Amino acid sequence: MFPFARQRLQQFLREHGSELGIREDVDALRRQHRVDAAEQLNPPPWSDDPAGAELASAAAYGEWLIDRDSKCSALKSLQGKIWQEGYRTGELRGEVYPDVPAALARWSCQGKILGIFSSGSVLAQKLLFGSTAAGDLTRFLRAYFDTTSGPKNAPESYSRIAKALALELPNILFISDVAKELDAARDAGMQTALCVRTPSAERPAGPHHAINSFEEIFPETSPP
b/e per residue 124-156 (b: at least 16 CB within 10 A):
bbbbbbebbeeeebbebbeebbbbebbebbbbe
Fold that domain 99-216 belongs to in CATH: Rossmann fold (3.40.50)
Q: pLDDT value at position 205?
A: 74
Per-residue pLDDT of the chain (224 residues; tens, 9 = 90+): 889 999 999 999 999 999 999 999 999 999 999 999 999 999 999 998 876 799 999 999 999 999 999 989 899 999 999 999 999 898 999 999 999 999 999 999 999 999 999 988 899 899 999 999 999 999 999 999 998 999 999 999 999 999 999 999 999 999 999 999 999 999 999 999 999 988 664 667 789 999 999 999 999 755 54
Burial class from Cβ neighbours inside 10 Å (0-12, 13-18, 19+) for residue 57 reads buried
Q: Where are the domains of the chain?
A: 2-89, 99-216
Q: pLDDT value at position 71?
A: 86
Class of domain 2-89: mainly alpha
180 and 153 Cβ atoms separated by less than 8 Å: yes
Tell me, what DSSP letter sits at residue 143? E
Asked, colleague to colleague, whether 2-89 and 99-216 share their fold, the answer is: no
Side by side, the strands of the sheet bearing 209-211 are: 173-176, 191-195, 209-211
Longest dimension (CA), the chain: 65
